Chain A
Amino acid sequence: MSDVKKPKKEIKPKKNPMPAQDPVARAKNFNEVALGYSKEAVIDEAKRCLQCKKEPCRQGCPVEVDIPAFIRLAAEGDFAGAIAKIKEKNALPAVCGRVCPQENQCEKYCTLGKKHEPVAIGRIERFCADWELATGVKIPEVAPPTGKKVAVIGSGPAGLTCAADLAKLGHKVTVFEALHVAGGVLMYGIPEFRLPKAVVQAEVENLKKLGVDIQVNSVVGKFTTVDALMEEEGFEAVFIGTGAGLPYFMNIPGENACGVYSANEFLTRTNLMKAYMFPNWDTPIKLGRKVAVLGGGNVAMDAARTALRLGAEESWIVYRRSRDELPARKEEVEHAEEEGVKFAFLTSPVEILSNEDGWVTGMKCIKYELGEPDASGRRRPVPIEGSEYLMEVDTVVVAIGQGPNPLVPRTTKGLELTKKGTIVADPETGATSKPGVFAGGDVVTGAATVILAMGAGRTAAKAIHEYLSNK
């Protein structure tokens, strides 16, 4: 036994700061906000890692990326090694490094985080992924063809991951996507300034290099059905990754007034259809001077920040609970605040008012207070009687959540659903009640996260491979 302690490593208490566009400038453009680490910064940040034997950070990652290992390689400047390590578990690192809610996942469990700021795991991951995209992605080896055909419905993170894994195993994969581009929410929902569309399309291109056939403009449930794919088109297994694309509304009077958008419409017009480039691009979007976004999640933050960029003078988040309960990523809330988004907490509209032409003029709102915690552990908002007041706004974006689109479930025989309309699937395998049909991502869990959808796609790919091998 030795009493000589190792000299204690000097720990930098704070993360290397993320270079970002100036808030005033960026609130007027759609360029990416967070610019990414330099090579020096990433190595410096990676050196903050203590290389803990117990790897607590890893348990926080839904797909258990080998965090200490990839960070060690990054600290040595071996980015090729680091990205290979990440990709063992995470098929979309350039995406996850940008949009994972790290403060609730990997970084939440980081040892450093007990006394200091945790290691910036997501930022290091992003750097490695961007480095690979810039230097040329190595296309992994594809197993010899098995002669088996698999259909993947939906090209969000769940579908893309499932397709990639199955293709690597030698299966012939066809992805059917309803929209005219692949990527799901990554393309139509999450804005350009947070996740550049070129990054997503680079991942889609890599998938094509694995031999995956991506058929856009293909709405399953309309031009064909899951049953027809299996019985008539020779697909031996199907993965359903159709996401949670059905927008919820508040069901309050006045919601169909002109100037009321669902977040999906607002973001789709802007991101997918590039309305911010109108009239160079043909799809318009229209908003007034004062925009109210209802909700407090990532979707709401994205809509509120988008509104500023489209020229709104004021952009408000109207949220029923208080700041502490905001479900959005912390970084997004901070970014929104820096850019000038305003918050009306403990507030909810009961009616949307409009003028004689049908355009929104304001919202009748009611104030809330926080009561006892509910089933989710969050304190339940309770309306305060007689607290109604008028909030003058001329555009309203409803961002209170989404459910699964019923097109596929409704047209597939023998698919068990929950009351909420999500597909029932075994979390270990993604298997549904229908033999040969698997599902994962938001269509199973309800609106969740990119990394969970990706993990579900990966789990299902493994199970589909087993299913096909034993068939």
Chain B
Amino acid sequence: MFKILEKQVFSPIIKQFVIEAPKVAKSCRAGQFVILRIHEEGERIPLTIADFDREKGTITIVFQEVGKTTTQLGQMEAGDYIRDFVGPLGEPSHIKKFDHPVVVVGGGVGIAPVHPIARELKRAGNHVIGIIGARSGDLLFWEDKMREACTELLVTTDDGSYVRKGFVTDVLKEVIEDKGKENIAQVLAIGPQPMMRAVCNLTKEYGIETVVSLNAIMVDGTGMCGCCRVSVGGTTKFVCVDGPEFNGHEVDWHELSRRSAIFRPEEQKAMEYHNCECGSGCGGAK
């Protein structure tokens, strides 16, 4: 059992937990993730390690409520226990010193997983340009942490309710135009699939190497089931063990988005079931 030590609510659907998991905290690195299961009947869901404290033995996760499991997770409080919590999983980010500035882009809840990578890139001596964005200002979080993790930080909102109006890709385009494409060594983008795809389309035009962190559906997270497979550069890769980071220009986004939707009707059913208040003991109250 894994104790939730702290809970922070960033918005009605975005929450942060600090969880006691010394084994994971001891060995994890930027770019890796965990898989957790709330209770005995629960599903295994992957979440990125957004921060960690090796001394205290804690892991920070930030998640958005999109379906049954994340909604249930969001209802848990500090002091509660998560049944299973396994990690670190996946390959760590490839951190090195580049000759030119690197750009990291975090969209929505993707800001959290970008954070430790930005920090490591800066630690490795890079000039790190951060771009973070959300649909609106109230969904934006960790501006302060990101400001610290990056050399310079640009903020945007889709609706213009905070700082400025525009998508992260709009800002990215301005940065590339401003610095010159040859002066940007790499772009790293994490966020919803459509956003990562848009970033890749843009950087492909400029020929800038782009890394993305894929959120395929997973079960075990150890390479055992093949559920997370994705075509990259024409060959099949398992996101959980070969990734989650890949060359964004080689990812078959079309296939990935179809595979991400496989269980959509079932996910809806689970949600309805979860919300049911019929009082029949059908499980809705669980």
Residues of A within 8 A of B258 (CB): 258, 357-358
Within 8 A of A (CB), among B219-275: 219-220, 222-227, 229-231, 236, 241, 254-255, 258-259, 261-263, 266-267, 269-270, 273
Q: For the complex, is A111 an interface residue (Cβ under 8 Å from B)? A: no
User: Mind listing 25 A-B residue pairs with CB under 8 Å?
Assistant: A178-B224, A180-B84, A180-B86, A217-B85, A218-B86, A219-B222, A222-B27, A222-B87, A222-B88, A224-B23, A245-B222, A245-B224, A247-B224, A249-B226, A256-B229, A256-B255, A258-B258, A258-B259, A265-B226, A278-B270, A282-B42, A284-B263, A286-B263, A358-B254, A405-B224
Give the Cβ gap from A437 to chain B, nearest Cβ, in Å: 20
Q: For the complex, is A216 an interface residue (Cβ under 8 Å from B)? A: yes
CA distance A193 to B28 in the complex (A): 39
Q: For the complex, is B26 an interface residue (Cβ under 8 Å from A)? A: yes
Q: Nearest CB to that of A259 among chain B residues? A: B262
A279 and B273 contact, CB distance less than 8 A: yes
Q: What 0/1 readout, one digit per residue, does chain B (23-44) give for beta carbons within 8 Å of chain A? A: 1101100000000010001111
A219 and B86 contact, CB distance less than 8 A: yes
Q: For the complex, is B160 an interface residue (Cβ under 8 Å from A)? A: no
Residues of B within 8 A of A224 (CB): 23, 27
Majority SS at the chain A contact face: loop
Q: For the complex, is A468 an interface residue (Cβ under 8 Å from B)? A: no
Give me 14 other A-B pairs in contact (C-beta within 8 A), A246-B223, A265-B225, A405-B223 excluded: A180-B84, A218-B23, A224-B23, A249-B236, A258-B261, A264-B224, A265-B226, A279-B266, A282-B270, A283-B44, A286-B266, A358-B255, A358-B258, A405-B222
Q: How large is the interface on B (under 10, 10 to 19, 20 to 34, 35 or more residues)?
A: 35 or more
Residues of B within 8 A of A169 (CB): none
Within 8 A of A (CB), among B80-94: 83-89
Please tell me which stretch of A116-124, A266-274, A333-341, A449-457 contacts chain B, meaning at least 4 of its Cβ atoms lie within 8 angstroms of it. Answer: A266-274
CA distance A224 to B241 in the complex (A): 16
Residues of A within 8 A of B254 (CB): 358
Q: For the complex, is A255 an interface residue (Cβ under 8 Å from B)? A: yes
A255 and B85 contact, CB distance less than 8 A: no
Within 8 A of A (CB), among B24-66: 24, 26-27, 37, 41-44
Partner of A279, one of B219, B241, B269: B269
Q: For the complex, is B69 an interface residue (Cβ under 8 Å from A)? A: yes
A223 and B226 contact, CB distance less than 8 A: no
Residues of A within 8 A of B269 (CB): 279
Q: For the complex, is B197 an interface residue (Cβ under 8 Å from A)? A: no
Given A219-B222, A358-B255, A407-B222, A265–B227 Cβ distance below 8 Å?
A: yes
B27 and A223 contact, CB distance less than 8 A: yes
Residues of A within 8 A of B89 (CB): 219, 222
Residues of B within 8 A of A262 (CB): 225-227
A407 and B259 contact, CB distance less than 8 A: no
Q: What 0/1 readout, one digit per residue, does chain A (284-322) give for beta carbons within 8 Å of chain B? A: 101000000000000000000000000000000000000
CA distance A278 to B263 in the complex (A): 12
Give the Cβ gap from A391 to chain B, nearest Cβ, in Å: 22
B262 and A258 contact, CB distance less than 8 A: yes
Q: For the complex, is B283 an interface residue (Cβ under 8 Å from A)? A: yes
B224 and A246 contact, CB distance less than 8 A: yes
Majority SS at the chain B contact face: mixed
CA distance A258 to B255 in the complex (A): 9
Q: For the complex, is A280 an interface residue (Cβ under 8 Å from B)? A: yes
> Which residues of B are interface residues toward A (Cβ below 8 A)?
23-24, 26-27, 37, 41-44, 68-69, 83-89, 219-220, 222-227, 229-231, 236, 241, 254-255, 258-259, 261-263, 266-267, 269-270, 273, 283
Q: Nearest CB to that of B32 among chain A residues? A: A222
Q: How large is the interface on A (under 10, 10 to 19, 20 to 34, 35 or more residues)?
A: 35 or more
Give the Cβ gap from A310 to chain B, nearest Cβ, in Å: 12
Partner of B220, one of A178, A279, A357: A178
> How many cross-chain pairs have Cβ atoms below 8 Å apart between A and B?
115
Residues of A within 8 A of B270 (CB): 278-279, 282, 284
Residues of A within 8 A of B83 (CB): 180
> Which residues of A are interface residues toward B (Cβ below 8 A)?
178-180, 216-219, 222-224, 245-247, 249, 255-256, 258-259, 261-262, 264-265, 268-269, 273-274, 277-284, 286, 357-358, 405-407
B259 and A256 contact, CB distance less than 8 A: yes
A280 and B229 contact, CB distance less than 8 A: no
Give the Cβ gap from A287 to chain B, nearest Cβ, in Å: 11
Give the Cβ gap from B283 to chain A, nearest Cβ, in Å: 6
CA distance A278 to B42 in the complex (A): 10
Residues of B within 8 A of A358 (CB): 254-255, 258-259
A279 and B223 contact, CB distance less than 8 A: no
Q: Nearest CB to that of A179 among chain B residues? A: B220
Give the Cβ gap from A223 to chain B, nearest Cβ, in Å: 5
Partner of B225, one of A268, A277, A357, A406: A268
Residues of A within 8 A of B267 (CB): 284
CA distance A262 to B85 in the complex (A): 25
B24 and A223 contact, CB distance less than 8 A: yes
Partner of A273, one of B26, B44, B261, B262: B44
Residues of A within 8 A of B227 (CB): 261-262, 265
A217 and B262 contact, CB distance less than 8 A: no
Which residue among B23, B24, B83 has the maximum number of chain A CB atoms within 10 Å of its CB? B23
B224 and A223 contact, CB distance less than 8 A: no
Give the Cβ gap from A280 to chain B, nearest Cβ, in Å: 6
Residues of A within 8 A of B23 (CB): 218, 223-224
Residues of B within 8 A of A180 (CB): 37, 44, 83-84, 86
Q: Nearest CB to that of B272 among chain A residues? A: A279
CA distance A246 to B231 in the complex (A): 18
CA distance A282 to B24 in the complex (A): 25
A178 and B43 contact, CB distance less than 8 A: no
A216 and B84 contact, CB distance less than 8 A: yes
Residues of A within 8 A of B266 (CB): 278-279, 284, 286
B236 and A255 contact, CB distance less than 8 A: yes
Give the Cβ gap from B145 to chain A, nearest Cβ, in Å: 25
CA distance A219 to B273 in the complex (A): 33
Which residue among A217, A249, A277 has the maximum number of chain B CB atoms within 10 Å of its CB? A217
Residues of A within 8 A of B231 (CB): 256
Residues of A within 8 A of B222 (CB): 178, 219, 245, 405, 407
Give the Cβ gap from B24 to chain A, nearest Cβ, in Å: 6
Give the Cβ gap from B26 to chain A, nearest Cβ, in Å: 7
